[in-house]
Structure 1
Amino acid sequence: MQRACHPWATACVLSGRPNVGALMSLCEENFARLARLVPELGARPPGVYGSRCPEGVDLYLEIEEQARFTTILRLTYVFAVQGAALPDPDARLRVYHDAGQVEVIDLRQTVLPLRADYRAPALAEKWQANLFVGKWLTYCLRQGRVFADAPVTPPTCASGARVTLCP
């Protein structure tokens, strides 16, 4: 279920001055997007899951930790660049199933002018990172992506070594 867009949240986006309420709303919207992309996320065992799309690069989701109320996961594309595997964007997310929220723990990407490394951010940086993840999840949904129910073999480098997602 998609939440309605709140006028005050839109005003925060336009003004560039987010507040805690707008950030919470954005985290709820991201939870709804992720739930559509990964049905039954809370019931999946740890492992790597893949999503293939004819028009795009493979998307990987790695469930690192699964607890009663939370899941910690990584979400990334893996690009082949000069024989090496490059994860980009590469996000580590904490999902709060009981609260219906997704929190960005770590975000590494080279596309948008955000900080390359996402560390102990202030409200503005949290807003930017969560907005980026929200746009990315929306893009994945528009592509028709969905993750298979069974884990897949993790991506490998040309050398055959496993790609480390979001090291």
Structure 2
Amino acid sequence: MKCMEYVARTMPFAVRRTVKWGDCDPAGVVYTATFADYVIAAAEAFYAQLLGEGSQHAKDRHGFGTPSRALTFDFRRSLRPDDEFEIEVRVGEIRSRSYELLMRGVDLRGEDVFIACLTPICVARGERRGIEIPAIFRQALQAYRDQCGQPSA
């Protein structure tokens, strides 16, 4: 059986996915909303890599959550069942309570499928109260950003 999603590389971090038939509408292209699922899944895998354990366990241990404050897309091409693509994750601006994850979806020829910007905000776990990005997480985001560099436009 083929794995439908896995970490393809860690620097820059990228997740490779295969489009499932159920991800698509009757016309055979990926539902727009499914792209948000792809981006959130890539973010969770990225957090696990950064924090060295499952993302939800790490956030529980450090007492914070990361709900989305904003999510934007620029779609460049459609995807169909069995298409493979990668989502590369870079860190953009790091603010006091929120940060940007800049994601680029590319097909296996290296052509853009989408450009996305996910802006999570840190909240106290179990509350709807914004908090400063925890130091351990801020340091991990900054170290990755410094090592990885800024994405190309």
TM-score (norm 1): 0.28
TM-score (norm 2): 0.30
Instruction: Select the structure that is richer in strand.
Output: 2
